[in-house]
Amino acid sequence: MSDGPQPAIVASRRVVLGGRDQRLVIEPACLELSGGHIASVHRIDAEHYLDRPPELALQRSATLIDYGDRLITPAFVNAHTHLALGFLRGADLRLAGNTNMVEEFFFRIETALEPADVRAFVRMGAYESLLSGVGLVWDHYYRGIEVAAALMEVGLTGVVAPTLQDIAGPGMERWERELEATVRIDDSSPLRERGIFAALGPHATDTVSEGLFLRALELAEVRNLPMHTHLAQSIEEHARACERYGCSPVEWLERIGVLQRAPRGLWAHALFASRADLKRLDRARHNLVFCPYSQLVFGFPAPVGVWSELGLAWVVATDCASNNDSMNVQKELRLVAGQRTVGTTWSASYQRFLDGGGSDDARQAWEARAKSFESHAGLADPTALLARVWSLPGTLHSAFVAGIIEEGALANLLVWDLEHPSLWPALDPLSTLAMADPIPAIWAMFVAGNRVGRDGDFATSIRTSPAYRTALDEAQRRLRSVLARI
């Protein structure tokens, strides 16, 4: 990392432009980077490519970085993380079959964490994110000030939602301080300059009271901040809402005004949200979060086909490394695409075939597969998949834009080596980025205008840097201390 973003002209014959409501295209372009943002985007005619980048760099008194035929894309956006929980990677997840792991396992251990533990563990999660091509995270965790500090130290941009709890959970005694932390993060010019912003983080409907939800809602309205919340994520949460309020978690949020008044809502998981619940959500302001691998372990995959059928907005995220063992949000896209056909395995016709082996049942199972494949084809569309980890989660906050290459957006960029075996032959680069395992092909990265690592030696240069080695040593020491305390 440099001390700060330097004015630069970044050029390539292959830059992914478009997004939002525009078709993604790959064209020659020059990107003017200034102050951590993309100051301008200059499309270039192919025949003028050799002349235009140097000319523009001279005009702007900027450094020219010409990547030639390498592909430039937005860096990925991970819409729901708990970076600190990477220290529990490899936990015995057999417990997940019989208990609420969040309450019975995570809460108990998280209670023992000290502020410096959180900071050390977040740093490691931030490094893992960078190495996975993630330039911005939406992180929801306790000790929000420590989370923000760790992001700034590593050089990862993000939205920090300090976890709010007052009914249950490790944050019960800290909710006032976490509300204050939210304000401090939102007011901090140094954090904003490094691409770090605030959101309101009520944990869930069964750990947060109506009073605290409304306190958070008022702050969200006054400051125009999104709310980032777990919603209908467990059978226990649904049962408690029914017992306490006589309705579902989603309906309860509607009753107390959260759904109507929150400027934006990022609702994670929604496993126990019925069709009636889902119809209460507004596509323009509410975004559901699908964490495929995490949900496979801790519950079951959310019905994203139904979400799409209802016209709801949704994005893709990893959740925490203790749930799915990775912060690589791009790898989640393959599992999203697989939702087209996974239901066939559990269809009545295929179950009959398993029991009897009849050809009629086999044919009916294949017909069910074909119908599902066709009706949910949009789940595997490459541009739609990439949008769920690029522009959609990058445009949910009023204070910034990310996940898209356009004027004013955060300068979070990836440069890809299309000759790398994991991308070759790259006949359709967007499809390959969505469905392959391309992370080893990252050639270079910029986050908030700062170059991360060394071009052409991206991953190794980060892992061998003094900053990473220091962070690793601290995290190892903190981990030993935590294990001794629990």
* Predicted confidence (pLDDT) per residue in 369-426, tens digit: 999 999 888 999 999 999 999 999 999 999 999 999 999 999 999 999 999 999 999 9
Q: Among 13-17, 57-61, 442-446, whose mean pLDDT is lowest?
A: 57-61
All residues at 6 or more sequence positions from 430 whose CB lies less than 8 Å from its CB, including other chains: 16, 24, 26, 382, 383, 386
- CA–CA distance, 185 with 262 (Å, rounded to integer): 19
In a domain, 483, yes or no: no
Per-residue pLDDT, 286: 97
Does one domain contain both 166 and 249? yes
**DSSP labels for 265-276?**
EEEEE-TT--HH
In a domain, 482, yes or no: no
Name the 3-class secondary structure at 447.
strand
Look at residue 298 in the predicted model and tell me its pLDDT: 83
**pLDDT at residue 99, as a whole number:** 66
Cα separation values, 404 from 7, 24, 128, 322, 411, Å: 19, 10, 22, 29, 9
Residue 69 in any domain: the answer is yes
pLDDT band at residue 2 under the 50/70/90 scheme: very low
- Could you tell me if 274 and 129 lie in one domain? yes
Could you tell me if residue 397 is inside a domain? no
In this structure, is residue 386 part of a structural domain? no
Q: Is the pLDDT of residue 242 over 50?
A: yes
Distance, CA of 345 to CA of 282 (rounded, Å): 32
Residue at 222: amino acid letter: V
Residue 177's pLDDT is what? 97
Q: Specify whether the CB–CB gap between 135 and 73 falls below 8 A.
A: no
Q: If you average pLDDT over residues 231-235, what whole number do you get?
A: 95
Reported as a single tens digit per residue, the pLDDT across 5-42 is: 779 999 999 999 998 888 999 999 999 999 999 999 99
Tell me: do 319 and 235 sit in the same domain: yes
Q: Are residues 88 and 148 in the same domain?
A: yes
Average pLDDT over residues 253-263: 98
Residue 9: beta bridge partners?
Answer: 32, 64
In this predicted structure, which of 133-137, 378-382, 441-445 has the lowest mean pLDDT? 378-382
Instruction: Supply the pLDDT for residue 21.
Output: 80
pLDDT digits (tens, 9 = 90+) for 156-190: 999 999 999 999 999 999 999 999 999 999 999 99
Residue 102 sits in the same domain as residue 179: yes
Same domain, 53 and 175: no
Residue 321 C-alpha from the chain's centroid: 12
**CB-CB contact of 148 with 132 (8 Å):** no
Confidence at residue 270, expressed as pLDDT on a 0 to 100 scale: 97
* CATH of residue 42: 2.30.40.10
Does residue 21 or residue 335 have the better pLDDT? 335
Q: Give yes or no for a contact between 162 and 181, defined as CB atoms under 8 angstroms apart.
A: yes
Q: Are residues 289 and 359 in the same domain?
A: no
Residue 23: strand, helix, or coil: strand
**How many structural domains are present in the chain?**
3
> What is the rounded average pLDDT of the residues 309-325?
90
96 pLDDT tier (thresholds 50, 70, 90): low
Statement to judge: residues 125 and 265 lie in one domain? yes
φ, ψ of residue 261 to 5 degrees: the values are -105, -25
Against a cut of 0.85, is the pTM above it?
A: yes
Q: Work out the angle between the directed axes of helices 466-485 and 144-154 (0-180°, nearest 10).
A: 150
Does 243 fall in a domain?
yes
| CA gap 333, 304 in Å, rounded | 12
pLDDT grade, residue 108 (50/70/90)?
confident
- Report the 10 Å Cβ neighbour count for 335: 18
Same domain, 181 and 313: yes
Evaluate whether residue 309 is within a structural domain: yes
Q: What's the confidence (pLDDT) of residue 97?
A: 56
Q: Write down the mean pLDDT value for the chain.
A: 94
Full residue range of the structural domain in which residue 36 is found: 8-75+403-452
Using 50, 70 and 90 to split pLDDT, how confident is the model at 321? Answer: confident
Nearest to 88 by CA among 290, 298, 231: 298
% of the chain residues with pLDDT over 70? 97
Q: What is the largest CA-CA distance in the chain?
A: 75
Report yes or no on 14 lying in a domain. Answer: yes
Same domain, 30 and 132: no
Residue of 237, 201, 216 whose CA lies nearest to 100: 237
The reported pLDDT for the residue numbered 98 is: 62
User: Which pLDDT score is estimated for 90?
Assistant: 80
Cα→Cα distances 259→271, 304, 373, Å? 18, 20, 33
Q: Given this model, what pLDDT does residue 1 score? A: 42
Which DSSP state fits 102?
Answer: I
Question: Strands 63-66, 313-316: parallel, antiparallel or unpaired by DSSP?
Answer: unpaired
CATH code of the domain containing 125: 3.20.20.140
Q: What residues are paired with 413 via a beta bridge?
A: 74, 446
Whether the CB-CB separation of 154 and 161 falls below 8 Å is answered with no
pLDDT given at position 414: 98
CA nearest to 448, candidates 225, 201, 156: 156
Residues 301 and 183 in one domain: yes
- Beta strands, E only, 111-209: 134-141, 157-164, 196-198, 201-202
- 141 has pLDDT over 80: yes
312 and 413 housed in the same domain: no
Strand bridging mode 227-231 / 265-269: parallel
Strand partners, 200: 227
Give the whole-angstrom CA distance, residue 157 versus residue 138: 9
